[in-house]
A and B are shown apart, each in its own frame.
Chain A
């Protein structure tokens, strides 16, 4: 049977058919779940090592959460895994955000973490709230946090918080962890790491993460979680270590991600097969 007419038709496939196929394969694993386990990449292992080193130092961490509703599916599992790890180790953490829409969700995550780990606000963790003019505030926090955050998210003066008496500037933290769906890690490198030299550990979306590999290579970023798959890898590490009881949403999403990638590859293969067969047919027709 001559498959060329079929392939030619497939190469001009209406994009709505592509959309439908993607929709089916993304939904399928939620209806019929299957287990997938991702082998941690070098970047994920570097993230884990850097975070462990920071926790082991005994000094507080600064965690900057910069993702909004759009990227919750990809970034929330990452943040929850990091929260589980730092609070299980009884590490003290100062939280901040530079995008207004992250404040409310972060409050909810912290409330849940407080209940789960028995935390005391002001001693175990502080949420400084939303800081505007991100680049300028990052640069300023390197020398004096209190000048940019006079009170925390709850309206309490910074000086009245026990944890903030220890953390006056970024020199007082073991590391800055930035979980961001935008390009803020780059600003942390420019306005934080370059002038003040602290450790920067980053969790980013898969699209943005490729921008940070150069910084990872030079050591300006100490570790990188690159997207949902890396979040699944990190969840696996924490499950093996006994920090997390079971896999989280990132691992559950691996099935959809993998099937979607396979479908895209299949469509690319079909498109190219049709292209080459069409070219061969045209060449044959052109021969005298």
Chain B
């Protein structure tokens, strides 16, 4: 294999409602675009369900944090405001106090997306809908629309939603991330050698990519 055949796979474990995954993914995309080896980098989304006990119905995140996690409302609102500022700095829409809901169905669909080569795009489309405050972000019709816009057949999306397909895959990827050392998300692994446990600035993603290439070329 020649040097120009060498590729670097970057895997990112993520949950749809994780704001740092949303922000981190955007920064990682910028870092990859700026890399001299951008055309030899493959990005693969992996799933990590943060909280299987999230409510089945959409709930404002501040209410969720206050009622379920015991966070004072004022603190939750302040944090939402801070995250919104950071998201907007990356050019991302972010409506504070957006709804949250159980994400298992979304993560199962990301696995379907991966089978069609569009898992990363499906995840980021779901995140954009959620964090931009779309009240129907979790609705089946929204998930169908986002998926079909990426070329995923509607019948396959609805089949997944009507079944428990990929539930085992979601659990398996969660367990794999833990085995690799993840303690939360985003969790980024470069070439199965370097790990980044969390969202970091674009420059830091760039440095990690350069470091991973040094290992690949060594």
A in complex with B = no
